[in-house]
Structure 1
């Protein structure tokens, strides 16, 4: 799977833009990986259901990803909790080749990756699965943690989230795979209205 170069304007979800902006505020001054402990976006509790935290295990090659939490949306979409398991084991041989390249690109480039995959739910509704991966470190130069924000949306309106990724009525089809490596500068908002989205160059 190849990843194109892009800037933050490609990210559709306003909340994912907010999460990315918080990461950029930490990254921009030194153009270096932020520490995971310093990442404290606003309204974080509102996003818990859509966030998954990973520990990157570099003891083997290629690196593997330990699920350190499990957002309720991911647990519903995949049919079970994965906390404490390696992501490749949790995904299995069908989903692994579709999902894992984004994680490996994230640690290789040490930059956020963003993907959109399309999948049908059990009722045939087409669902867009949007995944934003943010890399962090523990003070060194390697990526030691990843925070994933997972969003699902369907133009059909309602859809069935349970076992969305496990039903295998269709394998997720990637329609967008990018590394966010352009214009990585944080800019303050031009308007002061509460709730405005911070603009990114």
Structure 2
């Protein structure tokens, strides 16, 4: 598997408002030079509303590369891949065709112990382009990463799309548009207050 490059980015790289809220909840628990947040301490608001888009993984870091066991079922990922993956290793679940596009993102999350954000374009069975936005957040009980939480969003500018078998429904592979490690501005700031003298750029 060839090496994959990741951009350096701050939290503002995340497009989805809901994913930004999830990331902010992680940042509130995160502190430099301290252990990663514990998954048990992660309790963002409206978590139940997000559950269809969330996938929990436990991580085995002893193997090289690490392995990820899916701990969620009934999510939109199940729809996109055509079947539930609960209790299965991620590499076995996605299969050899998609593994080179999926697994390096998870490996980087464990290696860097930082959130990872990616955007890929995928064609549904009708040829409509779907943006697949993925946010990975690492957690630990002390030391190595023990858990990863993934938020998976699918958006189509043309409106409706077919999510069932999205990842397996045609011969076209995902087209990566952005891969970023969120390693800048790793602090949470309450919205609506700008410190005096700070320059703000508007894109």
Instruction: Provide TM-score, normalisation by structure 1.
Output: 0.91
1:178 partner SS: strand
The answer to whether the Cα contact below 8 Å between 2:55 and 2:75 also exists between their aligned partners in 1 is no
Runs of at least 4 residues off by over 2 Å: 28-32
Q: Give the RMSD, CA atoms, in angstroms.
A: 1.2
Give the match's secondary structure for 1:147.
strand
After TM superposition, the structure 1 stretch with the greater mean CA deviation from structure 2, 39-48 or 164-173, is 164-173
Q: Which runs of 5+ in 2 are unaligned?
A: 194-203
Question: Aligned residue for 1:174?
Answer: 176
Paired residues of 2:61 and 2:145 also in contact (CA < 8 A): no
Q: Secondary structure at the match of 1:70?
A: coil
Give the corresponding residue for 2:196: none
In structure 2, distance between residues paired with 1:122 and 1:167: 6
Offset from partner CA, 1:63-103 (integer Å, 9 cap, x none): 10000113521010000000000000000011110011110
Which residue among 147, 153, 156 is the counterpart of 2:155?
A: 153
**Equivalent residue number for residue 12 of structure 1:** 15
Q: 1:28 Cα deviation (Å)?
A: 3.1
Structure 2 residue matching 1:131: 3-state secondary structure: strand
Aligned length: 190
TM-score (norm 2): 0.90
- Look up the SS of the partner of 1:119 in the other structure: strand
Q: Which residues in structure 2 correspond to 1:184-199 (within 5 Å)?
A: 184-190=186-192
Q: Which residue of 74, 95, 112 corresponds with 2:98?
A: 95
